[in-house]
Amino acid sequence: MSEQMLSRIRMNGKVPGRDAGIEVRKTICAICNPFSHCGIDAYVKDGAVVRVEGSKGHPHSQGTLCSKGSASRQYIYHKDRIHSPLVRRGKRGAGEFEAVSWEEALNTIAEKLLKIKEETGPESVAFFAGYTKWMRPFLKRLAHSFGSPNYCTESSTCYQATAMAAKLNYGYYGPPDVLNAKCLLVWSNNPFHSNTSTVRRLLDARERGLKIIEVGPLNTPLSGHADFHLRIRPGTSGALALGMAHVIIEEGLYDRDFVENWTQGFEEYRNYVSQFTPQVTQEITGVPADAMIGAARLYSSTKPAAMMNSASPTVHHTNGLQNHRALIALVGLTGNFDVEGGNHVAPPTWLYVPAGLPARELEFEQSRPWKEMAPRIGQDRFPVWCKLVEEAQAMHIPFQIRSGKPYPIRALLGFGMRYGMWPGSDFMLDSLRKLDFLVNVDLFMTDTARLSDVVLPACSSFERSELKFWPERYVMWTQPVIEPLWQSRSDVDIIYDLGRRIAPDDELMQKGYEASIDWILEPSGLTVAELKKHPAGFFPKEAKMPPFRKYRKNGFPTPSGKMEFSSTILKSAGLDPLPAYREPQLGPRSTPEVAEKFPLVLTTGARLPMYQHSRTFRLGWTRSLRPDASVDIHPKDAASRGISTGDWVSLSTPRGSLKVRANLTDIVPPGVANIYHAWPEADVNLLIEPDYLDPISGFPGFKSLLCEVSKDEG
């Protein structure tokens, strides 16, 4: 073949090299959760990404990309990207905007926020970050340096309730040490859909003989690999955990030494769980007693055993916090807390990821002590949240906007804010309309952005620099592989430019983003200059995991210094100190009168591999994998209602109904309906009351309420 022909093939075939003008640059996919974020090789030609591939040899993602990451080009070049800063000119929500310069947009925001601060105090301005994590510490610092305690995030529905449960029981907690475990209790987590880059290691461990117990109502790709799959009725995790504790205690399978020396309230707990006999537990949870007993024996007698949890499905219930306390209590009860092959406590280095290095994220974020600021949104209603979580409880935002009590909320500065995230999303939407001033920063022109007074275009992970740690103790300072598209900018640049205008006294912020990262990383010995020398990332030599059983030296960071079966903090708040089981507020046992008309249990938001909340519906590739909003129901329930697959059906709750298609599947057990949570045409959060919340954590009961599915005759 001639050189000329070869050269043409290279050009057309996207082969990197000088001939083709294509360079391969390293970046990350940041569409999904911070524990994944796969390494990407971006093929760049003439300043545009022409192809993406998983970075081969990346220690976390090992060259893989899921359906979402593979569609990265459709994501970054999508027609819905916002091109320039916009200021509203027409009626709110009418979508009439004028494109303005960054200078004008930022000045408009600063003037308005400073005016509100002067009139009703800095607390009247709330700062909110949606699912995206990377800009959070900077946004929180901006809020506090401005003087507002009201920094809050999507974590008011995600993760933080599990962290609260862990703090109440143990003071701290750790992820499962899958590599060294002999038994893994996967309590409501579907990594095949929600955390794909971890699955290979899980399957390898299974091949080495790892025993697996899965708890969760839905069949998942893990179910076929599990020794036991306990298919609970949604919302009954707590009862199952108490039933398992009963078996473990009765049969003497608990860790006596740990319980005697390191726990508080065991006798009360033992006494309480004695009512959860296998028969009672079966009646509540629907799990056959034999399977529950078998799983309890397997988990407690295989050493070491680890528990894998998730950020949301056990706490998306009106009884979620106590449920989660009950299930993680099994870790201590069986002596698997902070041991090799169990749940190993390792403090996060940066953005939730433990990478074996110390850093100063918390000191950085909290630039002003709480006592120098007003009480947070939700502080009266969810005092235990405010004691344990360093944020405001965002579920209370719409209520405080409406009541103006204890002080008015007049402006909201949102980064990736989406009102569809809230239960009673129409209630949140109406509340946002009542604000004096709403700003949203997003990549795309979303419904929430359309409602705003000022809209700012953020850029994607391909167009910015961010600090990224992976649990494999790997770190990368990403560098833009292309220039920010149109006039978009990195969230962090926006935050620092606002900082200059609304928080001029914050000296560190005035020094800029990279100086702030250097400050945060100081205890680790890393600097941005050093990180920049490794564009593909590296393993810092200093990174090391902490020792096991740290409590033996320092006690537990709880009020009693012990693991608390009976919580001192809950007791002093006048709440039940034991991980007491209560039925979900709406359920066949708690509200049989409602169940007459709405006999199915509704669980929402089980993760689908191609969708990430609202993010990937607009992409042709991902959308083609599941084009229609659909509700999963069991063939038996469908048959008794005359429903076939693909039929249009009404999904109704006492609050309203949606028209969706029926998907007949035994992924759901009989009696349960399941629907994904962010369909653009069928928002299930319209069907859930805005105050359908766990009274302790404030988390919404997204995953246990009542519904009916009926054939749509219209």
Which stretches of the chain bind ligand MGD, using CB under 6 A? 32-33, 130-132, 154, 157-158, 188-190, 193-195, 216-218, 220, 232, 234-235, 237, 310-314, 316, 415-416, 418, 421, 441-444, 446, 458, 491, 603-607, 609, 611-615, 677-678, 684-685, 702-704
Q: Give residue number: closest CB to ligand MGD.
A: 605
Closest approach of ligand MGD to the CB of residue 583, in Å: 12
Closest approach of ligand MGD to the CB of residue 324, in Å: 9
Closest approach of ligand MGD to the CB of residue 332, in Å: 19
b/e for 580-592, b at 16 or more Cβ within 10 A? bbbbbbbbbebbe
Which one of Mo ion, ligand MGD, none interacts with residue 194, CB within 5 to 8 A by kind? Answer: ligand MGD
Which one of Mo ion, ligand MGD, none interacts with residue 606, CB within 5 to 8 A by kind? Answer: ligand MGD
SS3 letters across 407-472? CCCCEEEEECCCHHHCCCHHHHHHHHHCCCEEEEEECECCHHHHCCCEEEEECCHHHCCCEEEECC
Which one of Mo ion, ligand MGD, none interacts with residue 685, CB within 5 to 8 A by kind? Answer: ligand MGD
Task: From 186-194, 195-203, 306-314, 413-421, give the range in contact with Mo ion by CB under 5 A.
Answer: 306-314
Closest approach of ligand MGD to the CB of residue 214, in Å: 8
Q: Is the Cβ of residue 311 or residue 687 nearer to Mo ion in the bound state?
A: 311
Q: Is the Cβ of residue 394 or residue 526 nearer to ligand MGD in the bound state?
A: 394
Residue 528 phi/psi, 5-degree rounding, is: -60, -40
Residue 367 phi/psi, 5-degree rounding, is: -80, -5
Q: 């009926």: which residue's tokens?
A: 710
Q: Is the Cβ of residue 348 or residue 375 nearer to ligand MGD in the bound state?
A: 348
Please count the other Cβ atoms lying within 10 Å of the Cβ belonging to residue 16. 17
DSSP reduced 3-state for 313: coil
- The answer to whether 672 and 233 are in contact (CB under 8 A) is yes
* Angstrom distance (rounded) from CA 133 to CA 153: 9
* Angstrom distance (rounded) from CA 699 to CA 691: 10
- The answer to whether 116 and 124 are in contact (CB under 8 A) is yes
Closest approach of ligand MGD to the CB of residue 189, in Å: 4
Q: Is the Cβ of residue 238 or residue 540 nearer to ligand MGD in the bound state?
A: 238
* Angstrom distance (rounded) from CA 174 to CA 605: 25
Closest approach of ligand MGD to the CB of residue 685, in Å: 5
Q: Is the Cβ of residue 149 or residue 416 nearer to ligand MGD in the bound state?
A: 416
Q: Cα 490 to chain center, whole Å?
A: 22
Closest approach of ligand MGD to the CB of residue 140, in Å: 15
Closest approach of ligand MGD to the CB of residue 493, in Å: 12
DSSP reduced 3-state for 86: strand
Binding mask 307-326 for Mo ion (x = CB under 5 A): -----x--------------
Q: Is the Cβ of residue 264 or residue 319 nearer to ligand MGD in the bound state?
A: 319
Which one of ligand MGD, Mo ion, none interacts with residue 313, CB within 5 to 8 A by kind? Answer: ligand MGD
Pairing of strands 97-99, 86-88: antiparallel
Q: Is the Cβ of residue 373 or residue 667 nearer to ligand MGD in the bound state?
A: 667
Task: From 15-23, 42-50, 304-312, 689-697, give the range in contact with Mo ion by CB under 5 A.
Answer: 304-312
Q: Is the Cβ of residue 122 or residue 130 nearer to ligand MGD in the bound state?
A: 130
* Residue 535 burial (10 A CB sphere; 0-12, 13-18, 19+): middle
Closest approach of ligand MGD to the CB of residue 242, in Å: 13
Minimal CA–CA distance to 493: which of 37, 26, 98, 106? Answer: 106
Q: Is the Cβ of residue 158 or residue 377 nearer to Mo ion in the bound state?
A: 158
Q: Cα 611 to chain center, whole Å?
A: 14
Closest approach of Mo ion to the CB of residue 663, in Å: 23
User: Under the phi-then-psi rule, with left for phi > 0, alpha for psi from -120 to 50, and beta for the rest, what region is 121?
Assistant: left
Q: Is the Cβ of residue 311 or residue 409 nearer to ligand MGD in the bound state?
A: 311
> How is residue 151 written in tokens?
């920094």
Asked if residue 158 binds Mo ion (CB under 5 A), the reply is: yes
Q: Is the Cβ of residue 468 or residue 615 nearer to ligand MGD in the bound state?
A: 615
Which one of ligand MGD, Mo ion, none interacts with residue 193, CB within 5 to 8 A by kind? Answer: ligand MGD
Pairing of strands 648-653, 672-675: unpaired
Closest approach of ligand MGD to the CB of residue 481, in Å: 15
Count interface residues toward Mo ion (CB under 5 A).
2
> How is residue 149 written in tokens?
């305690």
Residue type, 421: M
> How is residue 413 written in tokens?
């500065």
- Element (DSSP H or E) covering residue 477: strand 474-477
- The residues of the shown chain that bind Mo ion, judged by CB under 5 A, are 158, 312
